[in-house]
Amino acid sequence: MHSSVHVNDETSRRPSARGLLAVCKKLSTLIHVNGLCQPSELGRASGVGEMEPRREQNMRLKRERIFRVASDFLRARGFSAVTTQEVSAAAGVAAGTLFRYAATKSELLLMVYNEALRSSIADGAARAALMADPADAVFTRLRPLVAAAAREPENSAAYQRELLFGPHEAKFRAEGMALILALEASLSDTLRRAAPTLSDGEARVAGSALFAVTHLAIARMTASGIPEADAIDDLRRQVTHIVTGALQHTPAARSAAREEMKETEQ
């Protein structure tokens, strides 16, 4: 009987689960406040939160390997000669793993050349940053796109084709189209800075037209074999026409044109 009472007394003195949790929280707070250990260190020590960052790192490293191999193969041999099987083998990943990052060879092409497009856009923006004349600034923004296409005509033609006619749901096509839309919006902003009274609609149409003539310059060069110098010269002329025409659509320009017509008639 005495033993039974003793056991019951010991049991009654044991802390409940809720009490243990409160003590743990208190200790954690004291440790953190006194600078003995940061929460991230506690997580690493216990393994909490370790798996997700490692998984993300592995995914990033695989994507970088795939990108690097695909870029090297495409630039060395051209789009038509490259296969997804050799890309996956050289990148050290299974074919099924490759398809998680780029489902088709066209997706690989888009993945690689989206970055090339991004680089050309940034290059043009940096070169045009201090230019005062809007036509010169716009042409300077667009010229690197044509120059890049001239260096790799086969891949550039395939890239343009995939951007225009590829599946709408394709991830990297959507990414490439977003880059183009951002470029068009930036060109529109350049025109609005030159002519603050230019309407948003006129500026938007002009921005789209400017990229359209750039696309045509690339297509003529890559598909018809037009020399790069001729394609760039044509682009300069078309950019000048579009920018000049857009700036004449401001209310002030239209008013001045009407006054000039009246004077001519008199």
Measured between alpha carbons, how far is residue 40 from residues 23, 31, 46, 120 in Å? 20, 13, 10, 40
- The number of domains in the chain is 1
Residue 25 lies in a domain: no
- The mean per-residue pLDDT over the stretch 71-75 comes to 97
Place of tokens 């003793």: 6
Q: The domain containing residue 149 runs over which residues?
A: 103-265
Residue 117 lies in a domain: yes
Residue 45 lies in a domain: no
Residue 142 lies in a domain: yes
Residue 200 lies in a domain: yes
Residue 73 lies in a domain: no
Residue 91 lies in a domain: no
Residue 222 lies in a domain: yes
Q: Whole-model pTM above 0.75? A: no
Place of tokens 């789009």: 79
Sign of the C-alpha dihedral, residues 58, 118, 75, 224? positive
Neighbours of 236 (CB within 10 A): 18
Interval 147-187: pLDDT, tens: 999 999 999 999 999 999 999 889 999 999 999 999 999 99
- The mean per-residue pLDDT over the stretch 70-84 comes to 96
Give the integer Cα–Cα distance in Å for 88 and 172.
18
Interval 227-252: pLDDT, tens: 999 999 999 999 999 999 999 876 55
109: domain CATH number is: 1.10.357.10
Interval 119-134: pLDDT, tens: 999 999 999 998 999 9
